Amino acid sequence: MRIAAFTLSLVIITVFTASLGTAASDSKVSEFIAAAESHLKPGEALDALRAGPPEEYFRWGEGICEHLRGGWTPKQLIEGNLDQFFGPELSVALVLAAQQVICPDQRQ
């Protein structure tokens, strides 16, 4: 059941971020990735961030911000969705980077 709920959440976030359709500037994407990197220690999570397409991680960041604006807490996003996909370290880094770069109005 937990996997089904996660899969549904993942689909919702993926569809939502795909529908945003905004092309972020290269500098904004770079700023987001640098912010995420600053919250990670050397290891698997940092390697995964560096290996992935930065634009895709940025789109996840946009989705994170929309969910935060919709009333989700960072903890709900991390524990109920993101950490099952990205792992806990990278999930926390993506949420913190999103709050820092994309939606500073959602810092808590």
Tens digits of pLDDT across the chain (108 residues): 444 444 445 444 554 444 445 567 899 999 999 999 999 999 999 999 999 999 999 999 999 999 999 999 999 999 988 999 999 999 999 999 999 999 999 887
Distances in Å between the alpha carbon of 27 and those of 5, 58, 72? 35, 11, 27
Q: Domain range for residue 21?
A: 2-106
The DSSP element (H or E) to which 97 belongs, if any, is: helix 88-97
Number of domain units in the chain:
1
What DSSP state is assigned to residue 39? T
Model-wide pTM > 0.85: no
Spatial CA neighbour of 86 closest among 62, 55, 61: 61
CB atoms within 10 A of CB 81: 22
